[in-house]
Amino acid sequence: MLDMLFMFLKSFFVGGLICMIAQLIINKTKLTSGKILVYFMLSGIVLQAFGLYKPLVNFAGAGATVPISGFGYLLAEGAIKGAKAGLFGAITGGLASASAGVTAAVVIGYIIALTFKPRSKYN
């Protein structure tokens, strides 16, 4: 029970720290949301390329994998594993490792679009 509570605290702390960094970037710079998302995803890729993101995932679990940097980590990890099978494996490895998350996002987005009436933010 105490181990599970400690894991929740670690996950919340790391996820909150990543989100806090993003919020500081939003507040202190003129970067658009899209650019910030791309930078965070690329940071996950670069950190995994140097072997630094996997220890963070082992420490924090979902606190490190749920933010967009975790998606970059997942793509990089799949590409690194796939590269052992050659160039084609490096290209498809990232897609294979992230396919479940991408599929879930598309399907849930489609269901939400069918369920709710879209409207403009300004109407």
DSSP code string of 45-106:
HHHHHTT-HHHHHHHHTHHHHSSHHHHHHHHHHHHHHHGGG-HHHHHHHHHHHHHHHHHHHH
Residue 103 lies in a domain: yes
Confidence of residue 42 (pLDDT cuts 50, 70, 90): very high
Residue 121 lies in a domain: no
Look at the block and give the residue holding tokens 């072997």. Answer: 51
**Between 60 and 101, the higher pLDDT residue:** 60
C-alpha to C-alpha distance for 92 and 69, rounded to whole angstroms: 19
C-alpha to C-alpha distance for 70 and 93, rounded to whole angstroms: 16
Q: Is the Cβ–Cβ distance between 68 and 41 less than 8 Å?
A: yes
For residue 94, the enclosing domain spans: 2-115
Residue 95 lies in a domain: yes
Confidence of residue 117 (pLDDT cuts 50, 70, 90): confident
Residue 57 lies in a domain: yes
Task: Examine the pLDDT at 96 and tell me if it is beyond 90.
Answer: no
Task: Examine the pLDDT at 58 and tell me if it is beyond 80.
Answer: yes
Task: Examine the pLDDT at 123 and tell me if it is beyond 80.
Answer: no
Q: What is the pLDDT of residue 45?
A: 92
Task: Examine the pLDDT at 80 and tell me if it is beyond 70.
Answer: yes
Q: What is the mean pLDDT of the chain?
A: 90
C-alpha to C-alpha distance for 59 and 62, rounded to whole angstroms: 9
C-alpha to C-alpha distance for 117 and 123, rounded to whole angstroms: 13
Total domains in the fold of the chain = 1
Confidence of residue 90 (pLDDT cuts 50, 70, 90): confident
The least confident of 43-57, 72-86, 108-122 is 108-122
Helix (H) or strand (E) holding 44: helix 33-49
Residue 81 lies in a domain: yes
Task: Examine the pLDDT at 74 and tell me if it is beyond 70.
Answer: yes
C-alpha to C-alpha distance for 112 and 115, rounded to whole angstroms: 5
